Every structure is written in C-alpha cells, then in structure tokens.
C-alpha cells in the first residue's frame, strides 16, 4: 500500500499516533510573522474526491487507530458541510475513532453556527488546537495574527459551548524584551477567561534567522535571554487562573520541560522556574545548549 503526503507536514506532539488526513494544503492565512511552516505552499482545500480514496487507504493502514488529525495549517477553515462530509467518511472507514482534531483559528470557529459546531462535535470532532500565541492586542497586531484578545476568547468559548475542547498554544518570548511584560500579563488574562482543557507554551524560534523574523515583525524586537524567557513564563503561569488545565512545556524549542495540572501544580511549576532562573547564567540566548 502506497501513501504520500504533500510535505512539509506538521502535527501537534499529542497526535504522534494519529492517522493524519491532509484535508487542506498550507494555511489559509499564512501571514504570521514568526511562522514559515507553510510558506512554501499555496493554500488549497482538497476535494472530497481526492480525499475519499486516501481515507480508505489510511483506514486500512492504521487499523485500530484511536485518533485522526486533520492537517494542514487550519483545516477547520473548511465549511461545516465539508467537514461533516469528511467526518462521516472517517467514521465509515475507521469505525468510530475516539476523537478527530485539527488546527483552527478563532475566526474559523466564529464563522460556524452553534448548531454546526454541535453537529461537528456529534460526529467526532472533539478537539481544536489553537495557536493563540499571545493575549496582548498590540502584539497580536505586530505579528499579523489577524485576531484580537476578544475574538480569540469569543471563538474558544463558542467551541467550548458546543462541547469541543481546545488545546491552546502560547509563544514564550514572542515580543522580545519590549513587549515581554504585557505579553505575559495579557496572555494569562486570555487563558484565565477561556480555561482550556490543554495549554502548552513553545519558545519563539527563528529557523530562517532573526533578520527574517524582524522583516515581518512590525515592532522593535530585542530577543530574550534564557533567563528572561523563564521570567516571562513565570509571570504568565503565576497569573493564569484556571481549573483543571493540563499544561505542557515539552516542545523541542523549550529550554525547560514543565508539565502539570496548572491549578493543582502551579506552586511546583513556579518553583521549577525559580530554580532554573537561579541556576542559569544570565546573558545566554536560547540557541545556547540547555544547561538544565
Ligand atoms: S495561522 Fe498558524 S499556520 Fe497560519 S501562518 Fe499563522 S501560525 Fe502559521
């Protein structure tokens, strides 16, 4: 059996054992200053006729798989009708999987009605991964996200009302020194308002170089040292008031692995950060090898 993805292909770490169906190619937005994941691709929704034989092939290859992830960048941009057609085919071919998930932008959620979201949930779409990146309106504008803190909260809460859970990503160091404090404070406010099931923090990385990032970032960017990244993260975690949110900071970009339930384990997470801040020499940058 032969199967070929349109590369590059990305999926969240939690979808490592999922069957991946490329419902769309690229990202419909493709403008965020820090993101070059899909810059080599022109966005295109794939037709049901293209996907149907692939779903059949994947179902045969991944017998017994429990989860299905819809790629690429924001597959949830597809209309509810198209997504429902895909979910029905997934359920028909795979049998009922435990959950289907995809990346989404808040506006992809807001463009659907409450009934459409409930219908998607009833057909297995149970989790959306949302790159919130920051809860700070100024920084959202500077990175060109096309969202505000309020639109982000509204979209996430709308998904939650329909029974769809969310996994939220925040980018540590996104605004550099100048915007660090407001980024931490306002991101914590957004997280506290939405109380997601899952939360993860990644660290800003610039695989194409700092100059490339600065060309797209619309403000003054001064990168944070490792200690400053930890301090920003500490402020963010200490101000996030949530209940039951499962938190992970285990992305390859991070300098320190953290995990816990944010309400229950907050003090322990802060103590880990305090220790890291005390033990890490000031003045080293994230590209330096981790000392911890
Ligand atoms: S919406 Fe997501 S995938 Fe698209 S450019 Fe922004 S960060 Fe990248």
Task: Output the CA 34–ligand 1 centroid distance in Å.
Answer: 9
Token readout for 90 is 């997934």
**DSSP calls for 106-124:** HHHHHTS-HHHHHHHHHTT
Our mutation pick for probing the ligand 1 site, out of 25, 26, 35, counting the most ligand atoms within 8 A of Cβ, is 35
- CA dist 163 and 181 (Å) reads 33
- CA dist 38 and 46 (Å) reads 16
Q: Topology of domain 13-279, per CATH?
A: TIM Barrel (3.20.20)
Which residue's C-alpha comes closest to atom 8 of ligand 1? Answer: 35
- CA dist 255 and 227 (Å) reads 10
Task: Output the CA 47–ligand 1 centroid distance in Å.
Answer: 22
Q: Which of 184, 191, 188, 292 is nearest to 232 (CA)?
A: 184
pLDDT computed for residue 35 by the predictor: 95
Question: At residue 97, does pLDDT exceed 60?
Answer: yes
Token readout for 49 is 């006729």
Question: At residue 193, does pLDDT exceed 90?
Answer: yes
Measured CA to CA in angstroms, residue 77 lies from 37, 73, 184, 285 at distances of 17, 9, 28, 36
β-partners of residue 129 are 103, 167
pLDDT in tens, 62-85: 988 999 999 999 999 999 999 999
Atom of ligand 1 nearest to the CA of 36: 8
Task: Give the binding-site residues of ligand 1, using a 6 Å CB cut-off.
Answer: 27, 29-32, 35, 37-38, 73-74, 105, 131
pLDDT in tens, 241-265: 999 999 999 777 788 999 999 999 9
Q: Is 90 helix (H, G, I), strand (E, B) or coil?
A: helix
pLDDT computed for residue 291 by the predictor: 36
Which residue's C-alpha comes closest to atom 6 of ligand 1? Answer: 32
pLDDT in tens, 261-279: 999 999 999 999 999 999 9
Q: Which of 160, 166, 96, 158 is nearest to 131 (CA)?
A: 166
Question: At residue 96, does pLDDT exceed 90?
Answer: no
Domain boundaries, the chain: 13-279
Count of CB atoms situated within 10 Å of the CB of 53 = 9
Task: Output the CA 229–ligand 1 centroid distance in Å.
Answer: 22
Q: Mean per-residue pLDDT for 96-116?
A: 96
pLDDT computed for residue 289 by the predictor: 38
The sign of the torsion formed by the CA atoms of 106, 171, 26, 64 equals negative
pLDDT computed for residue 292 by the predictor: 36
Q: Which of 285, 153, 173 is nearest to 235 (CA)?
A: 173
Run of H or E residues at 203: strand 198-203
- DSSP state for residue 94 in the 8-state scheme: H
Helices 114-122 and 149-161, axial angle in degrees (round to 10): 50
Q: Mean per-residue pLDDT for 18-37?
A: 96
Which residue's C-alpha comes closest to atom 3 of ligand 1? Answer: 73
Question: At residue 104, does pLDDT exceed 90?
Answer: yes
Q: Categorize the per-residue pLDDT at 1 as very low, low, confident or very high, splitting at 50, 70 and 90.
A: low
Count of CB atoms situated within 10 Å of the CB of 10 = 15
pLDDT in tens, 140-162: 999 999 999 999 999 999 999 99
- CA dist 116 and 189 (Å) reads 28
Q: How many CA atoms lie within 13 A of 62 on its CB side?
A: 23
Q: How many CA atoms lie within 13 A of 26 on its CB side?
A: 12
Which residue's C-alpha comes closest to atom 4 of ligand 1? Answer: 30
Atom of ligand 1 nearest to the CA of 34: 7
Q: Whole-prediction pTM value?
A: 0.96
For 119-186, list the strands marked E by DSSP.
125-133, 165-172
Atom of ligand 1 nearest to the CA of 145: 6
Our mutation pick for probing the ligand 1 site, out of 30, 71, 108, 213, counting the most ligand atoms within 8 A of Cβ, is 30
Our mutation pick for probing the ligand 1 site, out of 11, 26, 38, 41, counting the most ligand atoms within 8 A of Cβ, is 38
């Amino acid at each position: 059996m032969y199967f070929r993805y349109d590369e590059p292909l990305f999926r969240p770490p939690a979808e490592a054992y999922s069957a991946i169906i490329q419902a769309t190619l690229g990202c419909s937005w493709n403008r965020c200053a820090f993101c070059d994941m899909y810059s080599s691709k022109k966005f295109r929704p794939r037709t049901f006729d293209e996907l149907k034989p692939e779903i059949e092939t994947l179902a045969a290859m991944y017998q017994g798989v429990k989860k299905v992830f819809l790629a690429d960048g924001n597959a949830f941009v597809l209309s509810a009708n198209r997504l429902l057609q895909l979910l029905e085919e997934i359920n028909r071919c795979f049998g009922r999987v435990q959950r289907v998930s995809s990346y989404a932008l808040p506006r992809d959620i807001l463009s659907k009605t409450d009934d459409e979201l409930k219908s998607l949930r009833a057909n297995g779409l149970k989790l959306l991964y949302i790159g919130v990146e920051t809860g700070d309106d100024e920084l959202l504008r500077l990175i060109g996200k096309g969202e505000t803190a309020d639109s982000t909260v509204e979209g996430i809460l709308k998904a939650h009302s329909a029974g769809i859970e969310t996994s939220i990503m925040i980018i540590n160091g996104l605004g550099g020194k100048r915007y660090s404090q407001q980024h931490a404070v306002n991101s914590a406010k957004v997280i506290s308002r939405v109380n997601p099931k899952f939360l993860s923090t990644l660290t800003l990385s610039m695989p194409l170089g700092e100059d490339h990032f600065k060309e797209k970032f619309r403000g003054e960017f001064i990168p944070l040292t490792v200690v400053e990244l930890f301090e920003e993260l500490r402020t963010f975690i200490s101000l996030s008031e949530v209940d039951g949110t499962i938190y992970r900071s285990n992305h390859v970009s991070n300098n320190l692995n953290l995990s816990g339930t944010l309400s229950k384990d907050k003090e322990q997470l802060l103590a880990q950060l305090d220790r890291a801040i005390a033990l890490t020499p000031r003045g080293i940058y994230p590209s330096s090898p981790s000392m911890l």
